[in-house]
Amino acid sequence: MLRAMKNTVVRFVESDGGVLSLLEVETARGRGLFGCVSAALFLMRIQLVRAESKLREGRRVERLWLVEFDGAPIRPRRRLEIQDEVLRAVESAPPAPRAYLTSSRARRLDDELEPVA
């Protein structure tokens, strides 16, 4: 099942069995994605066993291997709840702070920082 909103896609990747479920979160958001997703999973009592994060064509892709808090596999009905909650968490999270340029010259406390475009 695929859940999408704005620039975010959340989906479980089907496998040939086993205990772990693979959840993929793909979004245009950058920093802070893992934090908001892992917090949402924790509140749902989902255990994050393994995570991979990479950029693919300018989009952040998080691959998360999950089990229930007690180690049980995640059932299909529960997967829908997880997808909805993760999507809600990603889309409602505030944007990450912007990075700032630095230079090699020494800065004083009253110097202004220039935001990265």
For the chain, which residues make up each domain, given as ranges? 2-115
Residue 97: what pLDDT? 57
What's the average model confidence in pLDDT over 1-29?
78
Tokens of 67: 């089990």
Residue 13 belongs to what H/E stretch? strand 8-13
**Domain boundaries 2-115, CATH class:** alpha beta
3 neighbors 87 (Cβ within 8 angstroms): yes
Q: How many Å apart are CA 104 and CA 11, to the nearest integer?
A: 44
Question: 58-68, pLDDT tens digit by residue?
Answer: 888 999 999 99
How is residue 93 annotated by DSSP?
Answer: S
Residue 117: which pLDDT band, with cuts at 50, 70 and 90?
very low
Question: 38-53, pLDDT tens digit by residue?
Answer: 999 999 999 999 999 8
- pTM exceeds cut of 0.75: no
